[in-house]
Amino acid sequence: MSVVGVLALQGDVREHLVALAEADVLARPIRRPEELAEVDGVVLPGGESTAISRLLATFELLEPLRARIAEGMPAYGSCAGMILLADEVLDGRPDQHQLGGLDIVVRRNAFGRQVDSFEAELDFTDVGDVHAVFIRAPWVEKTGEGVEVLARVPDSVEAGDAAGRIVAVRQGHVLATSFHPELTGDGRVHRFFVDMVRAAG
């Protein structure tokens, strides 16, 4: 059975562990480099990217995690996790570290400039209709070559500035969503990631 780790330094770790267990993998929290070495894929949870980035350095996970993602280990980031995987962040803190791996530019707290949280129905490529919950979420402002856009906020009056914004992307073995499928009890996005992990293994 595949083993998928959830970076367990800060954020909604438990919800991801539950969603992964439901997708039939062995789900384990990761706090130490030895634990990272044992997983086939990793989830970076929602939370606060600046705090997670600081803790990654403190727990000596920043370099090992960067290296494994660069070597092709599947990674999935939701919200703060998307920010960590992005090669470039707008409205970040100057001392915030990036894991990188996704050739995108994200704007941190993009939706939060209007409202703190926001919900929308999305058409997610290869997954279907998804009810998405955004909490002080980033959106993707720019994607590089090789990045596949999987979902956008649909055009509607309530969406305001968010209409049409890119909120789910994939680049090879790296997946990211601005929203939190771990909070809605809909396991399909996690299963989509688990399929990526199995395909890589």
Segment (H or E) for 170: strand 166-171
CB 193 within 8 A of CB 85: no
DSSP string, 64-88: HHHHHHHTT--EEEETHHHHHHEEE
Q: How many residues does the chain have?
A: 201
Residue closer to ligand GLN (CB basis): 124 or 139: 139
93 is an annotated ligand-binding site residue: no
The DSSP symbol for 155 reads: P
* Unique residue bearing structure tokens 């919950």: 133
Whose Cβ is closer to ligand GLN: residue 11's or residue 74's? 11
Minimum gap (Å) between residue 145 Cβ and ligand GLN: 26
Between 40 and 104, CB nearer to ligand GLN: 104
Neighbours of 59 (CB within 10 A): 18
Active site residue 16: no
Which of helix, strand or coil describes residue 104?
strand
The H-or-E segment that residue 149 falls in is: strand 148-152
CB of 86 to ligand GLN, least distance (A): 11
Minimum distance from residue 72 beta carbon to ligand GLN (Å): 25
Q: Which residues bind ligand GLN (CB under 6 A)?
A: 46-49, 79-80, 83, 108-109, 135-137
Helix (H, G, I), strand (E, B) or coil at 95: coil
47 annotated as belonging to a binding site for a ligand: yes
**How far apart (Å, rounded) are the C-alpha atoms in residues 174 and 184?**
22
* Residue 178 known to bind ligand: no
Is 173 designated active site? no
Catalytic residue among 16, 79, 173, 190: 79
Active site residue: 16, 173, 182, 190, which one?
Answer: 182
Q: Residue 68 annotated as binding?
A: no
Closest approach, Cβ 198 to ligand GLN, in A, equals: 26
Q: Is 48 annotated as a binding residue?
A: yes
Per the annotation, the verdict on 79 as an active-site residue is yes
Q: Based on CB atoms, which residue is closest to ligand GLN, 40 or 190? A: 190
Closest CA to 44 of 83, 3, 77, 4: 77
Q: Which residues are documented as binding site?
A: 47-49, 108, 135-136
Q: Which residues are documented as binding site for L-glutamine?
A: 47-49, 108, 135-136
Q: Which residues are catalytic?
A: 79, 180, 182
